[in-house]
Structure 1
């Protein structure tokens, strides 16, 4: 573990019965850094955040915040937003923040916090009468009343409209710029790419890749691609000088009737258009794109899921063979 890290996890393991939530998860987050955890549902993101904040006791491994164990650290220096957070809904937004501010000796003005999350004009509205996105922003505000040094946000912008989401993003950026260390989980790859200094991909309870968004895209994102919307089959592109394939399954950005030309620069798109026209190949659209963090997510998460499926299949086959042996 790095000595300068503000948030550390080393070999965290946690199981609930036969369900393995964490399997040797490790990470290190430096001061003032925004670290985003991404991964599929059930990968262990929420359990990892709970282990880091002391609300879940790991079965083994070590977690530390600012040099202390999560259960010993000064709680006034932390802000924690769980994925499921249900404050008293008959209090107004201002009353809720004033309540949480009252838990600390040196808290921020609730009105200032409401302004930070873009709700300056809704302070007197009951929590239950706010929209889902506004409620979530109030919850974000509740984690900021103590002006924390370290902030944990589990899916902070879930349910928030695009304008409100950008308000929260700007707030997180400002907090990080002022020295706050932020650990967040998200399924929004655009959110991770914009906010995170580094990203950790959690799959099957372990952090299987970490690095800056650019580094992860460069190492795991694959090549640039030109998607051609056409009913023509791959044989029609046999003479094209670039590799051509069908769209990868499960990637919703690709249309059903299409072929994908890979590893192609924008300047070469005219060459492909000339090829299409020379062979009278009918097409309805062209889309060029570079790999991004979503491609990294899909590539690595799919690999881990397939490995898990293979292991499960091997185990099932072994069980069946053993049972057959017993029967014989």
Structure 2
């Protein structure tokens, strides 16, 4: 995998400098080279995500497989960022203005990201529940050939959606998701968490753009984007008011594919909001929702013995439901494992850097 290969090469090169601790001023060219390579890797990885996000692609935008790639991208970026921040560097460099302000701000975003990871993990449990309900409906539809005059109604009763209207179906599904994922603190809001994470997300200017402030900003932006995309895709507690935009300067080359993805996801969110469908943008659940609505409409209008062409169409839809559930069965647990890995990596990195800063502060105090 190209992302993993580039990460390994990058980390190996920086590790050579582990015992070559010099001041930033004395190694400025090397720092600039590391920063340029880091930004290139971020651009390449998000370009790959963008190119694989078409509807016809195997990793369609906000599908389970696409989200797994997104989390992998984050883990690679985070590992490289920590290498730039820590490996082969005098800890006192992290304590210099304005890095001494930006690094704590970044790790404050990390704390908020940990809450988002918990919310997303709970949301994935609700998606798995949704999948199981769909499998019950599939079993009911496959138990006997459709057309016996009773089977469609039996399957419809099994289905988890309501019947009165499309709006009621969507509200019922969204309410079910919320109740199943309501494991965060009372009053906790995914949308407010994302808004808080994007506060003070300002690109460095002047001399800061060539120092440590720049990779901190890059990683802060990557963190906000990834958490925002996960919240948009997975049902989380209280997403009303989820921002569809956070400012990223378009002139930054590394950010351009990320901005393009942000615009595509925001457009999907707006479409779903207009239809009162806010259970999430996960591609598989949207497909289940679309197919389920079609099958319910079929059951509502079914008259024995049924038209052969329509029965064949329904059979194809049931097969598509089964295939989608199979993909969910294969992908949801690995995605949950990745979210847990992401959580623990963030905790570990935050602890390591804060300990390093604490040691640097104690060393400075002892020499005064």
Q: Same fold (TM over 0.5)?
A: no
The structure that is strand-richer by fraction is 1
Identify the structure with bigger relative contact order (alpha carbons < 8 Å, sequence gap 6+).
2
TM-score by length of 2: 0.27
TM, length-normalised to structure 1:
0.30
